[in-house]
Amino acid sequence: MQYYSTSDNSYRTDLTRAIVHCVAPDGGLYMPASWPTVPKAFFNNIDQLSLTDIAYVVANSLLGDDVDGAVLKKIVGDSLNFKIPLVELADGIFALELFHGPSLSFKDVGTRFLARLYRHLAAGAGKTPGRINVLVATTGNSGGAIANAFLGLEGVEVFILYPRGRLSRMQEAQFATLGANTHPIEVRGTIDDCNQLVDTALLDTELNSALHLTSANSLNLGRVLPQIIYFFEACARLKAAGIDPSTADFAMPCGNLSNVTAAAMARKMGAPIGSITGACLPGVFADVAAEGKPVPPFNPAKGYPANLPRLWALYGGDTAAMRRDIHAAVFTPAQQEEAVRTVYSVFGYTAEPRSASAVAALLRRTQNGRPGVALINTHPAKMLDRMTAITGHAVELPLQFNRFMAQTAKKDKIDPTLPALRKILTKYN
């Protein structure tokens, strides 16, 4: 399979470059040059297949030209070693719980798959440049997922930059208590400062020739493709429940649009999913999908959904076609909190604010009796204090937390400057 750049349709590169380099030389995002469809016969007995069986068929359709079947089977099995249950909240209304992985977030799926694919491709190409340094800026959930996914991986050091005072205790504990090759860095600044520092470091040629730097955020196609898998999984479980997935509405929280994009990709590969709705805050995606404003030029800065160029490219840059397929349900932060209370009172189900807004978006769309699936992105206990404040009752802690909370956080603290970051990078290389 060849990969092109969303900034240049005629550009072509191979899988290794697309994954290891993350962003194209022209600053665009990598996309597969064609979309394979899964075999038709796959749907005959999909309801009897396991998550890893389904994952293998999807992964093999996408990556089978470039990655040996046995290797792919192992990558899939090792990445998805947890359940993704489809829980029925009420008649025909389902929650796809994506939070049963080690860091309790859907981001485990993409980061665990990426870490393993990355190791395989870098080794195969003979390109392992000594040590690889993965940089990530996080406000919470990606730090935990990436640190846990790359933990203990030989030849890889992971640096997690996060703004002081912005994360919950749980979120910080998930990456700051691991040790080994993971290095938390508390930045005296905002998330914008953290993102800017990572971007500056990634573009600094001197630093890059000394230390091989890369990123593992959702600009990396290797994080988005594995998310296609769980849309097929949801179709399988709906079929097992006697529901035709093509009649079902799918709603999901969104920020960088990795799930909305993966849903559209799944449909392109033949997943018979009904409608796709992104539950979002006011902003660029809401302007485009709900208001019909033009897609603004790609700008990977704060507030621009990282995967919008990919989503748009799936519709050949035709905004009207995209809007017929992809809907937005806009929620302010206060409306998200209201959604938490609504979902609890209607279904007795506790969801964190963004996931609750996806369930609420579904309720708006399913008044005509259509079945629906809402993606539940993270475990509510990741925002323990906020959830308690909203609901007035305690959230049950999942077992995975014991591993993190028993340890003390160890971190470096820096000002948001390149020399300060360079000093830390050098210390661990």
Ligand X SMILES: *Cc1c(COP(=O)(O)O)cnc(C)c1O
Do residues 279 and 357 make contact, with C-beta atoms less than 8 angstroms apart? yes
b/e string for 150-183 if b means 16 or more Cβ within 10 A?
bbebeebbbbbbbbeebbbebbbbbbbbbeebbb
Min. distance of Cβ 232 from ligand X in angstroms? 17
The amino acid occupying position 219 is L
Min. distance of Cβ 217 from ligand X in angstroms? 9
CB-nearer residue toward ligand X: 46 or 145: 145
Q: Is 39 helix (H, G, I), strand (E, B) or coil?
A: coil
Contacts with 376 (C-beta within 8 Å, 6 or more apart), sequence order: 95, 96, 97, 98, 99, 351, 355, 358, 359
CB-nearer residue toward ligand X: 220 or 259: 259
Rounded CA gap, 249 and 277, in Å? 8
CB-nearer residue toward ligand X: 177 or 218: 218
Rounded CA gap, 26 and 11, in Å? 10
Rounded CA gap, 271 and 383, in Å? 33
Do residues 281 and 303 make contact, with C-beta atoms less than 8 angstroms apart? no
Environment class of 189 (CB within 10 Å of its CB; exposed 0-12, middle 13-18, buried 19+): middle
Rounded CA gap, 416 and 202, in Å? 15
Structure tokens at 164: 């002081």
CB-nearer residue toward ligand X: 16 or 259: 259
Min. distance of Cβ 339 from ligand X in angstroms? 13
Q: What is residue 330's DSSP assignment?
A: E
CB-nearer residue toward ligand X: 207 or 374: 374
CB-nearer residue toward ligand X: 107 or 212: 107
Min. distance of Cβ 301 from ligand X in angstroms? 16
Min. distance of Cβ 105 from ligand X in angstroms? 5
Residues that bind ligand X (CB under 6 A): 105, 107, 141, 218, 253-259, 354, 377-378
Min. distance of Cβ 376 from ligand X in angstroms? 9
Min. distance of Cβ 273 from ligand X in angstroms? 15
CB-nearer residue toward ligand X: 5 or 138: 138
